[in-house]
Chain A
Amino acid sequence: MSEFIVNASLMGLLAIIGVLIIQQHRLFAVIILSGAYSLSAAAWFVIADAVDVAFTEAAVGAGVSTVLALGTLSYVPREEKARSVEPLAMTISLGAGLLLLLAVLDMPHYGSDAAPIHNHVAPHYITQSGSEIGVPNIVTSVLASYRGFDTLGETAVIFTAAIAVFLILTGWTRKKN
């Protein structure tokens, strides 16, 4: 029960921050709120046992991401053009949410150990990684060893993204005549 209260209040906080982001027209406030959103999400990840993810979300989502957004904000207008609620967009997102709620009815129960995700390769990682890899943190051994190809690909994506940003930001825009 206490876990439910902590969990639900963090999720509620996230929803409130999300609604504030939609309402707010000053982009500086929007970016700071998105940093707060990332930090609350990191707190929620700790509750959900994902300590490595929480660490990354706090450092990347709340830290570097906010700095980059503020860097962008120094080149663009500070205020968003005011807009009213858009009924069509609201209908589409509510409809998509309703469809996803229907899908949730078919999901395995939250926290149940009979779910397919817990009965495929995960038991091998949990029981064997201690003797096969010899590293206490299972996330590290899966990340670097069992799924090393995956991480190699992710590193290559980061490399490519950095090259792309360089190409975009070191050129200059020709003005139209």
Chain B
Amino acid sequence: MHDDPVIRVVSKVLIPSIMLYALYVQFHGDYGPGGGFQAGVIFAVGFILNAIVFGVNRGRHVWPSSLNLQCIALGLLIYGGTGVASLFLDGNYLDYNVLSGDPVAGQHLGILLVELGVGLTVSSVMVALFFAFAMRGEHVRLLAHDSTEGKEKAKTKPKAKPARKPAAKGAKS
């Protein structure tokens, strides 16, 4: 698939539009169907498409593993932090009325922050899940390599399954 110019060019056009659409779903969720959950998944699909077409290793460079894990936690922290902020402003936990002078404006702000947290968590979780599945083969190979240095090699032989990578890509095309 790396060599197919049609798929490469079309996905280069598609990926930015997918991400723009995700942002639309995220911020227009108050007025129409949509919200953090859907937007997060659509945003993640952009990264997954990039990784499928241009290779998993190149895809991982776009959103490195450490940043990805931090984003998962950051989204949940934004959600919980909104609740704590309302506690400090003399409200109940997750009571957005106190976030602003006007209760309705406070609700708007609270929903915006909460949906942002949900979107961030969901998108980074979906990307992380995809890479966890896609990089398992490489991971096993690296672990086997580490553990066989200076030890017997017979143990790790059954782990090498050479047919795995091309098969995965053929399945997705």
Q: Indicate if A touches B (C-beta under 8 A).
A: yes
Residues of A that sit less than 8 Å from B by CB? 28, 51-52, 54-56, 59-60, 63-64, 67-68, 70-75, 131-137, 139-141, 143-145, 148-149, 151-152, 155-156, 158-159, 161-162, 165-166, 169-170, 172, 175
Q: List 18 A-B contacts (CB under 8 A).
A: A54-B33, A56-B38, A59-B38, A60-B37, A60-B41, A64-B44, A67-B172, A70-B168, A73-B171, A136-B30, A140-B29, A143-B35, A149-B93, A155-B79, A155-B121, A155-B122, A159-B76, A175-B156
Q: Which of B35, B80, B93 contacts A140 (CB 8 A)?
A: B35
The smallest C-beta distance from A52 to any residue of chain B, in angstroms, reads: 5
**Known interface pairs A55-B38, A71-B130, A137-B30. Does A162 touch B125 (Cβ–Cβ under 8 Å)?**
yes
Q: In the complex, what residue of chain A is closest to B36 when comparing beta carbons?
A: A144
B residues neighboring A (CB under 8 Å): 25, 29-38, 41-42, 44-45, 48, 69, 72-73, 75-76, 79-80, 83, 93-94, 96, 103-104, 107-108, 110-111, 114-115, 117-118, 121-122, 125-126, 128-130, 132-134, 136-137, 139-140, 143-144, 147, 155-156, 158-159, 161, 164-165, 167-168, 171-172
Tell me the dominant secondary structure on chain A's binding face: helix
Please give the distance in Å from B166's CB to the nearest CB on chain A.
9
Q: Is the CB of A145 within 8 A of B110?
A: yes
A161 and B129 alpha carbons, distance in the complex (Å): 9
The 8 closest A-B pairs by CB, nearest first: A74-B168, A71-B133, A148-B94, A134-B104, A51-B33, A162-B125, A172-B143, A144-B111
Which residues in A have their C-beta under 8 angstroms from that of B161? 75
Complex alpha-carbon distance, A124 and B28, angstroms: 24
Q: Give the shortest distance, in Å, between B89 (CB) and chain A (any CB).
A: 15
Selected from A74, A170, A175, the residue in CB contact (under 8 A) with B139 is A170
Question: Whole-angstrom distance between the alpha carbons of A55 and B22 in the complex?
Answer: 12
Q: Given A67-B172, A70-B168, A158-B122, do A165 and B107 touch, yes or no (CB 8 Å)?
A: no
* Known pairs A74-B165, A137-B33, A140-B35; A64 contacts B171 (CB<8 A): no
Residues of A within 8 A of B144 (CB): 172
The answer, among B38, B79, B143, for a CB contact under 8 Å with A152, is: B79
Q: Are A59 and B45 in contact (CB under 8 A)?
A: yes
Q: What would 9 more interface pairs be, CB under 8 Å, given A56-B41, A155-B117, A156-B76?
A: A52-B35, A55-B38, A70-B172, A135-B107, A139-B33, A141-B107, A145-B96, A145-B107, A152-B83
B45: which A residues are within 8 A, CB to CB?
59, 63-64
B125 touches A159 (CB 8 A): yes
A135 and B155: CB pair below 8 A? no
By the criterion CB–CB under 8 Å, are B33 and A52 in contact? Answer: yes
The CB with the most chain B CB atoms within 10 A, among A140, A161, A166, A170, is that of A140
A67 CA to B104 CA, complexed, in Å: 40
The answer to whether A135 and B30 touch across the interface, beta carbons within 8 angstroms, is: yes
State the Cβ distance, A176 to closest chain B Cβ, in Å: 10
Nearest B residue to A136 via CB reads B31
Question: In the complex, how many angstroms separate the beta carbon of A136 from the nearest chain B beta carbon?
Answer: 5
B140 touches A133 (CB 8 A): no
